[in-house]
Homo-oligomer: A and B are copies of this chain.
Amino acid sequence: MVTIADVARHAGVSSSTVSYVLSGKRAISEETKRRVESSVRELGYHPNAGARALAARRSHIIALMVPLRTDVYVPVMMEIAVSVTMAARRHGYDVLLITNDEGPDGVRRIGASGLADGVILMDIELEDERIPVLQSQGTQAALIGLPDDPGGLSCVDHDFAAAGALCADHLADLGHREIAFIGYGSGVYTRHAGYAERTLSGFGQRAAQRGLRYVHRPCDGTYESTAGTLARILADRPETTGFVVQNEGAIGPLLTLLRTSGRTVPEDASVIALCQAQLAEQFAPRLTSVTGSAQDLGRVAVEQIMRRIAAAGRGERPQDEQVLLTPVLTVRDSTGPVSAS
């Protein structure tokens, strides 16, 4: 194993000089810097992570706690995980993957052991048990998702209320008057997952402003549950012409069922999905969708936590930031003006 002492000997300097070249924390002459850098390259030196963490009291690792649930669309989680990892690397950080089932103890473990300099939490509940732990330990954190009380924390999330409103506006603009909002399974609402509630209320408020009538129906996203949900909608509100779907799993079944029931999309029914562009393009017809960037979510969370770690390192109180990312409406082939019948 190549150590900093090997590099120092090879370059004919002291090991502290090598350290300063690598960290840039002190001025070093061009000449010395060049010699050290070429020794580093020649010997293939990589600083020992443990020693560095111990001496600098900074591990250059952030932990990412991912949910185990499968009622959240999995590819989005993966996209976030990957974008977090890549953003972190750009700051010289690595990412430790923690699963949600470790719960508050997991957060405690990571903080107390100094394994990670900060934690990014996903699948935030409105009253999340992990948050008090964070605060009591002084562990730096960024949340992907908005808790009830974000005091003393940095958060980033999609602006779900705006996404809901965008759906209402688009359907209203096209002349629809009776809308069905097909949400997540009812478990998501009883758990008070913020994103589901905020989408719905954003949609509901704008719908009211625009004079739309709507029903909200939870839906598990299986074929059976979608069939049941749709049957009930069509029985209760046969005049329904607009569908907003938030549960990705329900999209395929819904399109199939609408076709089966003799409704053509978009002539007889408009469907707008709250999902990733990639997914929206996979259906026939390609779906009009409202999308937020999962990548940005990960990137912003990393930037927030980097700022917090840096501030804490300078002995300052980290700035709490709440960022909501504006969603985008992409009109494709599944929405159209309500037909004159």
Contact = CB atoms under 8 A, between A and B. Distances in A.
A283 B223 contact: yes
A50 B54 contact: yes
Interface string A275-286: 000100111101
Interface stretch (A96-104, A146-154, A201-209): A96-104
Interface stretch (A81-89, A237-245, A306-314): A81-89
A74 interface: yes
Contacts of A89: 99, 102
B77 A114 contact: no
Contacts of A91: none
A113 B46 contact: yes
A114 B74 contact: no
Nearest to A99: B85
A89 B65 CA distance: 14
A253 interface: yes
A115 B82 CA distance: 19
A263 B275 CA distance: 30
Q: How many copies does the complex hold?
A: 2
A83 B101 CA distance: 12
Given A74-B78, A78-B77, A109-B46, A97 B99 contact: no
Nearest to A249: B282
A2 interface: yes
A98 B70 contact: no
Contact of A96 (B1, B95, B252): B95
A328 interface: no
A199 interface: no
A235 interface: no
A116 to B, nearest CB: 9
Contacts of A86: 99, 101
B82 A66 contact: yes
A74 B78 CA distance: 7
Contacts of A223: 281-284, 286
Given A54-B54, A222-B282, A48 B97 contact: no
A155 interface: no
A24 interface: no
The 6 closest A-B pairs by CB, nearest first: A50-B53, A46-B112, A50-B54, A74-B75, A46-B113, A49-B115
Interface of A: 1-2, 44-54, 59, 61, 64, 66, 68, 70, 74-75, 77-79, 81-82, 85-86, 89, 94-99, 101-102, 108-109, 112-115, 221-223, 249, 252-253, 256, 278, 281-284, 286
20 contacts: A46-B109, A46-B112, A47-B113, A49-B50, A50-B50, A50-B52, A53-B53, A68-B82, A75-B78, A78-B78, A85-B98, A94-B98, A94-B115, A95-B96, A95-B97, A96-B96, A223-B283, A252-B283, A253-B282, A256-B284
